[in-house]
Amino acid sequence: MWRHSGHALAEMTRRGIAREVVDQVLRAPGQRLEERDGILALQSVIEFPDGRKFLVRVFVNRDEPPVVVTVYRTSKIAKYWR
């Protein structure tokens, strides 16, 4: 259903975000935000194995089929949660 760009896969590895976490956000995002130029931000607060909570943001190009273009996590939940 969702394709992942090479950049998104590299960022997931670099940032220590498991594919399962990204898939969880894609399946049931806490929020869906329209960004710019056809980009949709899907985000959820996720508790990581070390017990800390992060906002995981998954950016999807809305082309058909949709493509995950990048992923990151942040501890600044209040900054991005609307």
- The whole-angstrom separation of Cα 34 and Cα 54 is 20
Cis amide linkage into residue 29, ω under 30° from 0: no
Q: What is residue 26's predicted lDDT score, i.e. its pLDDT?
A: 96
Domain boundaries, the chain: 3-80
Residue 1: how many CA atoms within 13 Å on its side-chain side? 3
Q: What is residue 6's predicted lDDT score, i.e. its pLDDT?
A: 96
What's the Rg (C-alpha) of the chain?
12
Tokens representing residue 49 in the block: 């194995």
Report whether 67 contacts 3 (CB < 8 A). yes
pLDDT tens track, the chain, 82 positions: 789 999 999 999 999 999 999 999 999 999 999 998 889 999 999 999 899 999 999 999 988 789 999 999 999 999 999 9
Report whether 48 contacts 32 (CB < 8 A). no
Q: Kindly report whether the global pTM for this prediction surpasses the value 0.95.
A: no
Q: What is residue 1's predicted lDDT score, i.e. its pLDDT?
A: 73
